[in-house]
């Protein structure tokens, strides 16, 4: 649905004015802390009320100061997953996730069993929130929001407190659920990683204003100093298909047609995994090398070339629908004459990869 807005809000010391138009299934909202991302999101959920302006979703007006319209929070059909999971402590997981569930025709597309399985919470149903780990709690909170069958799902840095091992699978589940249920998602983050992983469309917010709406490459080109230039991660989901070599504990993970030799830990043959490596750990070559120590050589095509603070971020298409991000220096770009469209070989050491259980 098309989301249009033009509103202003004062909240304590913060003053913001947001104008824009959002389309597309997943939109990430990125900006430094204190820039107004959460305030922006809370005006959609109804947690906060703008001082003036309007918010329109499709043809429905959520808020309009001119027309004196303010749809109450419980009638908006917009659900939010907060930074803190906010699970109801006196209810079991099952009661929590079904709290907003309405037994009607529209909700029939929500297959409770299937979604619970995707989020891996189907075995937690009878537990109380106090018995859950951080990752489990956020997965339950996500399920609870999804089961309320919202038009729009808002996520306010929900996985902030989680480590990569816990977070990466949830990001995959979220993407999977988005496709399955055709959810429209607004996802607040301050991490370039999550922005790149999740969205084709992104909003940059700073100092209470929308500075840019565009794809992640345009956002990163803004070189916003206040944002921590956290290293950009690559996440690729695949299946363990190859023999596990006992001596160095490595195995083969198939990601579509691409096969990577990675440290396999205790994952068994056939299990679904996520391979993670940093964009800066990849070496680029313009010709196919044969005598190298790196065990993975992936052929690809440069899709984008984006200048960052001291380096370049390359987006490389490695198969029909798989991309990886590679960070290299300006010197290398010039020396190797890499341009958009160049064919390159990405060299990846097995030991630079981490395998996470999916």
Residues that bind another protein (CB under 8 A): 45-47, 73-80, 82, 84, 86, 88-90, 99-100, 102, 144-145, 148
CB of 92 to another protein, least distance (A): 13
Indicate the residue among 93 and 355 with the shorter CB distance to another protein.
Answer: 93
Indicate the residue among 100 and 256 with the shorter CB distance to another protein.
Answer: 100
Q: Alpha helix (H) ranges present in 199-329? A: 216-221
Is the CB of residue 24 less than 8 Å from the CB of residue 216?
no
CB of 126 to another protein, least distance (A): 18
Pairing relationship of beta strands 26-30 and 69-70 according to DSSP bridges = unpaired
Task: Name the nearest CA neighbour of 157 among 148, 149, 167.
Answer: 167
Burial of 336 by CB count in 10 Å (0-12 exposed, 13-18 middle, 19+ buried)? middle
Indicate the residue among 48 and 308 with the shorter CB distance to another protein.
Answer: 48
**Strands across the sheet with 14-22, in order?**
69-70, 60-64, 52-57, 3-11, 14-22, 209-214, 201-206, 26-30, 184-189, 152-156, 78-81
306-327: b (≥16 Cβ within 10 Å) or e: beeeebbbbbbebeeebbbbbb
Q: What is the CA radius of gyration of the chain?
A: 22
CA-to-CA separations, 144 to 44, 106, 150, 196, 214, in angstroms, rounded: 18, 16, 11, 26, 30
Query: Reduced to 3 states, what is the DSSP secondary structure of residue 322?
Result: strand
CB of 256 to another protein, least distance (A): 38
Q: Alpha helix (H) ranges present in the chain? A: 37-45, 93-97, 112-118, 134-147, 164-181, 192-198, 216-221, 330-336
CB of 325 to another protein, least distance (A): 34
Indicate the residue among 109 and 340 with the shorter CB distance to another protein.
Answer: 109
Tokens read off for 186 = 């607004």
Rounded Cα gap, residues 46 and 70, in angstroms:
9
CB of 151 to another protein, least distance (A): 12
Indicate the residue among 47 and 218 with the shorter CB distance to another protein.
Answer: 47
CB of 310 to another protein, least distance (A): 41
Indicate the residue among 96 and 250 with the shorter CB distance to another protein.
Answer: 96
Indicate the residue among 102 and 223 with the shorter CB distance to another protein.
Answer: 102
CB of 131 to another protein, least distance (A): 15
Is the CB of residue 251 less than 8 Å from the CB of residue 270?
no
Rounded Cα gap, residues 189 and 230, in angstroms:
12
CB of 48 to another protein, least distance (A): 10
Indicate the residue among 14 and 99 with the shorter CB distance to another protein.
Answer: 99
CB of 117 to another protein, least distance (A): 22
Indicate the residue among 148 and 315 with the shorter CB distance to another protein.
Answer: 148
Task: Name the nearest CA neighbour of 251 among 358, 322, 353.
Answer: 353
CB of 146 to another protein, least distance (A): 11
Indicate the residue among 108 and 290 with the shorter CB distance to another protein.
Answer: 108
Is the CB of residue 239 less than 8 Å from the CB of residue 272?
yes
């Amino acid at each position: 649905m098309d989301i249009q807005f033009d509103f202003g809000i004062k909240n304590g010391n913060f003053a913001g004015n947001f104008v824009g138009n959002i389309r597309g299934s997943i939109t990430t909202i990125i900006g430094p802390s204190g820039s107004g991302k959460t305030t922006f999101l809370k005006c959609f959920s109804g947690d906060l009320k703008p001082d003036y302006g309007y918010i329109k979703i499709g043809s429905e007006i959520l808020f309009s100061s001119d027309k004196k319209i303010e749809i109450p929070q419980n009638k908006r059909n917009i659900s939010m997953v907060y930074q803190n999971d906010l699970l109801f402590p006196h209810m079991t997981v099952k009661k929590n996730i079904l709290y907003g569930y309405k037994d009607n025709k529209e909700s029939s597309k929500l297959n409770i069993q299937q979604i619970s399985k995707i989020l891996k919470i189907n075995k937690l149903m009878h537990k109380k929130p106090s018995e859950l780990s951080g990752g489990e709690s956020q997965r339950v909170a996500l399920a609870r929001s999804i089961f309320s069958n919202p038009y729009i799902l808002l996520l306010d840095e929900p996985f902030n407190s989680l480590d990569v091992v816990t977070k990466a699978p949830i990001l995959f589940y979220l993407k999977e659920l988005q496709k399955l249920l055709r959810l429209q998602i607004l996802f607040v983050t301050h991490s370039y990683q999550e922005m790149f992983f999740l969205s084709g469309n992104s909003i940059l917010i700073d100092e209470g204003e929308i500075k840019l709406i565009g794809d992640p490459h345009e956002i990163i080109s803004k070189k916003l100093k206040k944002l921590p230039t956290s290293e950009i991660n690559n996440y690729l989901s695949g299946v363990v298909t190859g023999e596990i070599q006992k001596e160095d504990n490595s195995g083969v993970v198939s990601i579509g047609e691409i096969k990577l030799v990675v440290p396999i830990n205790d994952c068994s043959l056939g299990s679904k995994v996520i391979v993670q490596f940093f964009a800066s750990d990849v070496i680029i070559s313009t010709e196919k090398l044969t005598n190298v120590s790196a065990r993975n050589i992936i052929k690809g095509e440069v899709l984008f070339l984006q200048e960052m603070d001291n380096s370049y971020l390359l987006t490389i298409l490695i198969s029909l629908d798989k991309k990886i991000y590679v960070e290299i220096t300006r010197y290398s770009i010039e020396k190797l004459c890499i341009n958009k469209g160049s064919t390159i070989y990405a060299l990846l050491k097995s030991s630079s990869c981490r395998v996470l259980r999916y």
